[in-house]
Amino acid sequence: MSARALPLLFLNLGGEMLYILDQRLRAQSIPGEKARKDEWTDVDRKRVMNDIITTMFNKKFMEELFKPQELYSKKALRTVYDRLAHASIMRLNQASMDKLYDLMTMAFKYQVLLCPRPKDILLVTFNHLDAIKDFVSDSPGILNQVDETFRQLIETYGRLSAGELQLIRQTLLIFFQDMHIRVSIFLKDKVQNSNGRFVLPISGPVPWGTEVPGLIRMFNRNGDEVKRTEFTTDGNYVTPQREGSFDLYGDRVLKLGTNMYSVSRPVETHMSGSSKNLTSHAKENVAPNPLAKEELNFLARLLGGLEMKKPGGSETGFRLNLFTTDEEEEHAALTRPEELSYKVINVEAMQEPGRRAELSRILGELEVAEPRPGSSGKGEDLLALMDEL
């Protein structure tokens, strides 16, 4: 497992989250002069995007994120994105948050699978950051935050060998290997089967620096070519015209990681009844995690930079629905697997005296969802909860 995969995972999933939220906010926004008090406007959309991006690229947050560390459990990362999505006036209920996370993970999984070579994962990440910069192009302060992360990516990953980048790719694929959620966009484009598994193409451009398959060369002991044999392939391969730019600005060439919601397409996920338990909703191992304490510290550091913005005064939070209708959202909430029901987390105790007051100050009460039906609603010790991750 690579200790350098976490920043790429976080930034690419975050980029996909912003694509989806921007599309849904645009679809539900009303012209400002016609909007009621409880309806979205384009001003609200820009505010939500700016708030989330500001939080996502918080300097302290990025410093902790780029420290070499192993990937943590899906539940721990999901908690971070739940917190991040609510860093503004927008509110998502758990059914819509589940759907949002499903779309994020499946989109990035597909991009990692299709990367022609391990180094191209960086181009996918740069495509996400380029699009994020467009979202905040009229906010120089936020734009500078994104550019700083851009420079950090170039400095950290630009000097890695092909073997180290391949290990990062393998680490990401291991993280996604049990996720087979059906997404309508992929199903319609016939790049995903009905069982949620992706269909990998056998045609298209070959990786930069390689040749189109179809020729075998044979050499003697002196290194001289002595024979050539051609063979036919089932695919239609082409040589890329140029390599994508790995600089702060430039043409990435590779289209993976660009906004697939920029055209008018519905944001939907479909899950077959027989495959629900095989998706990311499958219950994880409930045995105590030996890295629980490290995950606790990890979340404490990351969430320290994520402050949920609560509406002030008479301002009300705006609800965003990722489903076509409220009825679909309600049905999804009723059929939500039990293991995804989050609790209110209170920090009550820490074994390290110096960390207890600090962690309590940073996290306070982290409410990531409403208590489960039948729950008392009382908080649990955070360390005990992390033991279950």
Look at residues 383, 378, 344 and name the one whose alpha carbon lies nearest to residue 364: 344
The encoded tokens of residue 268 equal 């939907």
Give the type of residue at 332: A
The predicted structure's pLDDT at residue 335: 65
DSSP 234-258: SS-EE--SSPPP-SSSS-----TTS
Phi, psi of 229 (to 5 degrees): -135, 130
- What distance in Å separates the CA atoms of residue 291 and residue 293, rounded to the nearest whole number? 6
Q: Please tell me what DSSP assigns to residue 364.
A: S
Look at residues 296, 288, 308 and name the one whose alpha carbon lies nearest to residue 355: 296
**Is pLDDT at 238 greater than 60 in this prediction?**
yes
The predicted structure's pLDDT at residue 103: 93
Those residues whose C-beta lies under 8 Å from the C-beta of residue 335, and which sit 6 or more positions away, are: none
- What distance in Å separates the CA atoms of residue 304 and residue 314, rounded to the nearest whole number? 27
Query: What is the pLDDT confidence band of residue 310, given thresholds at 50, 70 and 90?
Result: low
DSSP 331-357: HHHHT--GGG---EEE----SSHHHHH
- What distance in Å separates the CA atoms of residue 275 and residue 292, rounded to the nearest whole number? 30
Could you report how far apart the first and last alpha carbons of the chain are, in Å?
A: 18
> What's the average model confidence in pLDDT over 254-279?
64
Q: What is the dihedral of CA 91, 136, 303, 89, to 10 degrees?
A: -20
Contact 158, 119 (CB under 8 A): no
**Is pLDDT at 104 greater than 90 in this prediction?**
yes
Query: What is the pLDDT confidence band of residue 9, given thresholds at 50, 70 and 90?
Result: very high
Cα angle 271, 76, 141; round to 5? 100
Residue with tokens 């189109």: 212
pLDDT tens per residue across span 181-196: 999 889 998 999 999 9
Alpha-helical runs (H) found in the chain = 6-28, 42-56, 59-65, 74-85, 94-114, 120-135, 140-157, 162-176, 184-188, 292-303, 326-334, 353-363, 382-387
Span of 111-115, 146-150, 167-171, 367-371 with lowest mean pLDDT = 367-371
pLDDT tens per residue across span 31-79: 656 656 666 788 888 999 999 999 999 998 899 899 999 887 888 888 8
The predicted structure's pLDDT at residue 334: 63
Span of 99-113, 212-226, 242-256, 372-386 with lowest mean pLDDT = 372-386
The predicted structure's pLDDT at residue 266: 54
Query: What is the pLDDT confidence band of residue 322, given thresholds at 50, 70 and 90?
Result: low
Q: Please tell me what DSSP assigns to residue 381.
A: E
Those residues whose C-beta lies under 8 Å from the C-beta of residue 336, and which sit 6 or more positions away, are: 94, 95, 98
- Look up the pTM and report it: 0.74
Size of the chain in residues: 389
Query: What is the pLDDT confidence band of residue 88, given thresholds at 50, 70 and 90?
Result: confident
The predicted structure's pLDDT at residue 276: 46
The predicted structure's pLDDT at residue 261: 85
Give the type of residue at 40: W
Give the type of residue at 266: P
> What's the average model confidence in pLDDT over 226-235?
92
The predicted structure's pLDDT at residue 36: 63
Task: Map residue 315 onto helix, strand or coil.
Answer: coil
Span of 47-51, 108-112, 283-287 with lowest mean pLDDT = 283-287
pLDDT tens per residue across span 195-214: 999 998 888 889 988 889 99
The predicted structure's pLDDT at residue 73: 82
Rg (CA), the chain: 23
- What distance in Å separates the CA atoms of residue 210 and residue 239, rounded to the nearest whole number? 8
